């Protein structure tokens, strides 16, 4: 048709560049693009949010300070200052325990009268104030207390009380049964007159008495975890450490680790470099694999115990077992100990297991040795 409007082509505008490689328009002017720095790290994003929020707060404060209510008043309408409108009444919340205290005061006034109740209230307030001061002094930093006598502290006279010591007895109670007459003056031939029938070969052991106080409460036992719970805690701990390490790498505090390239993933990791020169890339990957294996062997060798350290660890586990610190006693009966072979076996076993005992072969040692 003659009156048809031709359709506009949607082809992109041609790219025009000058001698310096900058984009220009059809008039030869350099096209300027506004670039905005966008933060990608979580730390920088948070800092930008805080700065933006601070700017908003400053703007709100500036609006509040510049507020002038007189500009909304037309002086031609009314004369004089506008009346202050009182604020609308809001909710008034009751403090917790206020009603209980009021009811308790009413009960005490009904029971003891007005004067008696006021006296009891005064005494309670004084006790509460004294308790508050004691708690404040207990939590106060001792370095902040000034030196010298406090003005509010009453000066008390220190009276030294002399304790009267008991008189020295004529004969001590532990010597009295052994001396004739029960006094130290009973001397015969330059020596004390002692009752020899009271002395024998036996040792008198005192009767064990229970302590007057109750036994202490046993300490709380540690929580026993199953193998699955131990494994779960270990996994959570390792994940937390890995997240902290990644955050430090993002902030630039740690250097990013090199990619762990192997023969199996060489083509996927290296990409185009592996296709250009596969032999050189394979040689480099094998060198990296050898370096990682060498570092692994060195770490294992550094943690490996020497012969003396292994021996000390074995003895510590056997004789210094913290799970069973008590001493275990065992009694053995040997029919004939006159043979040198039997004596040698008993001696060697006692030395190896660090046992000590008597001629009846009563041995004492650690839990593992027993």
Compute the average pLDDT of residues 188-202: 81
Statement: residue 324 has pLDDT above 60:
no
Give the pLDDT confidence score for residue 1 in this predicted structure: 46
Q: What is the pLDDT of residues 49-108, one digit of tens each?
A: 888 888 888 888 877 766 666 666 776 766 555 555 555 566 777 788 888 888 888 888
Residue 226: what pLDDT?
93
pLDDT (mean) for 131-149: 67
For 179, other C-beta atoms within 10 Å of its C-beta total 19
Q: Is the model's pLDDT at 152 over the cut of 70? A: no
Of 336 and 245, the one with more pLDDT: 245
Best-predicted range by mean pLDDT (201-210, 313-322, 324-333): 201-210
pLDDT band per the 50, 70, 90 thresholds, residue 355: confident
Looking at residue 34, what is its pLDDT? 72
Residue 363: burial class (beta carbons within 10 Å; 0-12, 13-18, 19+): buried
Q: Is the separation of the CB atoms in 15 and 24 below 8 Å?
A: no
Tokens of 61: 């404060």
Residue 174 pLDDT exceeds 60: yes
Distances (CA, A) of 181 to 178, 188, 189, 193: 9, 12, 16, 9
Q: How does residue 303 score in pLDDT terms, banded at 50, 70 and 90? A: very high
Rounded mean pLDDT, 9-36 = 79
Q: Which residues neighbour 139 within 8 Å (Cβ) at sequence distance 6 or greater?
A: none
- Name the DSSP letter for residue 152: S
CB 356 within 8 A of CB 365: yes
Phi, psi of 192 (to 5 degrees): -70, 145
Average pLDDT, the chain: 78
Question: How much is the average pLDDT of 105-130?
Answer: 84
Closest CA to 121 of 96, 129, 94: 129
User: Can you name the residues that pair with 356 across neighbouring β-strands?
Assistant: 364
Q: Is the pLDDT of residue 222 over 90?
A: no
Averaged pLDDT, 107-129: 83
- pLDDT tens by residue, 262-285: 888 888 888 888 788 888 889 999
How many whole angstroms separate alpha carbon 253 and alpha carbon 240? Answer: 17
Residue 150 has pLDDT above 70, yes or no: no
Percent of the chain with pLDDT over 70: 77
């Amino acid at each position: 048709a003659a009156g048809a409007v031709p359709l506009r082509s949607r082809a992109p505008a041609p790219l025009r560049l000058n001698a310096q490689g900058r984009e220009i328009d059809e008039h030869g002017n350099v096209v300027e693009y506004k670039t905005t720095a966008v933060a990608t790290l979580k730390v920088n994003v948070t800092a930008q949010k805080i700065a933006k929020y601070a700017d908003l707060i400053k703007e709100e404060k500036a609006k509040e300070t510049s507020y002038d209510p007189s500009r909304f008043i037309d002086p031609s309408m009314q004369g004089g200052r506008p009346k202050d409108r009182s604020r609308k009444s809001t909710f008034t919340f009751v403090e917790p325990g206020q009603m209980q205290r009021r009811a308790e005061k009413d009960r005490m006034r009904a029971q003891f009268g007005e004067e008696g109740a006021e006296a009891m209230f005064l005494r309670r307030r004084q006790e509460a104030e004294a308790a508050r001061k004691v708690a404040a002094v207990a939590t106060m930093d001792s370095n902040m207390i000034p030196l010298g006598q406090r003005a509010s502290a009453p000066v008390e006279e220190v009276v030294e009380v002399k304790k009267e010591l008991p008189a020295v007895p004529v004969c001590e109670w532990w010597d009295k049964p052994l001396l004739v007459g029960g006094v130290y003056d009973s001397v015969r031939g330059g020596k004390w007159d002692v009752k020899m029938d009271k002395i024998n070969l036996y040792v008198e052991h005192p009767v064990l008495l229970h302590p007057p106080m109750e036994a202490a409460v046993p300490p709380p036992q540690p929580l026993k975890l199953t193998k699955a719970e131990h494994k779960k805690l270990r996994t959570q701990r390792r994940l937390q450490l890995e997240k902290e390490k990644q955050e430090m790498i993002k902030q630039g505090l740690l250097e990013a680790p090199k990619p762990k390239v192997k023969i199996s993933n060489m083509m996927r990791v290296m990409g185009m470099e592996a296709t250009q020169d596969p032999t050189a890339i394979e040689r480099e990957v094998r060198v990296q694999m050898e370096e990682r294996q060498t570092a692994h062997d060195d770490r294992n060798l550094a943690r490996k115990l020497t012969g003396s350290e292994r021996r000390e660890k074995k003895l510590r586990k056997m004789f210094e077992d913290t799970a069973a610190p008590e001493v275990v006693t065992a009694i053995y009966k040997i029919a004939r100990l006159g043979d040198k072979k039997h004596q040698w076996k008993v001696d060697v076993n006692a030395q190896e297991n660090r046992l000590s005992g008597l001629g009846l072969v009563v041995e004492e040692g650690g839990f593992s040795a027993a």
